Amino acid sequence: MQEGIDQKSRFSQHAVFRAGVTVLFILLVFAIFRYMSVPKSFGQYGYYRGDNVTEWVSMDLSYAPPGNTVCSKCHEQVAQATSQAEHNKLNCQSCHGPLMAHVRKPAESHPAVAGNAELCGTCHRELVGRTKEQIASVKVGEHSGGLDCTRCHDPHQPWSKIGGRQW
């Protein structure tokens, strides 16, 4: 340790050089991590991972094509009934869930739908930001007393089981 006498110390021992090298090292580590972390296809099409597009395309379809035309080919009567009532804007799969498997093999795949308060409450539960004028909302627990909504309401024609429209 040559304290204080090193007037002609080599440049590589200068404080500025050592500090500079340390900072460059940190930047290099950052650059290496960045190189390792950013996916190769990032920016291929835009500000996202390009491979993401092909990955989505290659995924198996779970939903049938939107609109109810596919469903109404076989379930014409129900589709007709629904189109007359309040839920006519809904897609069948909104309540019945993804149906592509059923479309492909109708005999093997029979998706069940739970007509309970949890499912119906998705739209019909009372919320601060949702007024009754916009959508019929109830306190689901109190309203049904634990019964399934479908005991009184037919989802395809919500008021048909209880004597028609109530307002």
- In the complex, the residues that contact another protein under the rule CB under 8 A are 1-7, 9, 13-19, 22-23, 26, 33-34, 37-38, 42, 47, 127-130
Quickly tell me which residue has 């005991």 as its tokens: 151
- Kindly state the smallest distance separating residue 17's Cβ from another protein, in Å: 8
Judged by CB, which is closer to another protein: 27, or 162? 27
Let me know: does 157 contact 81? Beta carbons within 8 Å: yes
Task: Give the integer Cα–Cα distance in Å for 96 and 13.
Answer: 74
CA dihedral sign of residues 131, 135, 140, 143: positive
- Kindly state the smallest distance separating residue 51's Cβ from another protein, in Å: 15
- Kindly state the smallest distance separating residue 8's Cβ from another protein, in Å: 9
Judged by CB, which is closer to another protein: 74, or 127? 127
Let me know: does 99 contact 68? Beta carbons within 8 Å: no
- Kindly state the smallest distance separating residue 29's Cβ from another protein, in Å: 12
Task: Give the integer Cα–Cα distance in Å for 62 and 73.
Answer: 19
Judged by CB, which is closer to another protein: 32, or 147? 32
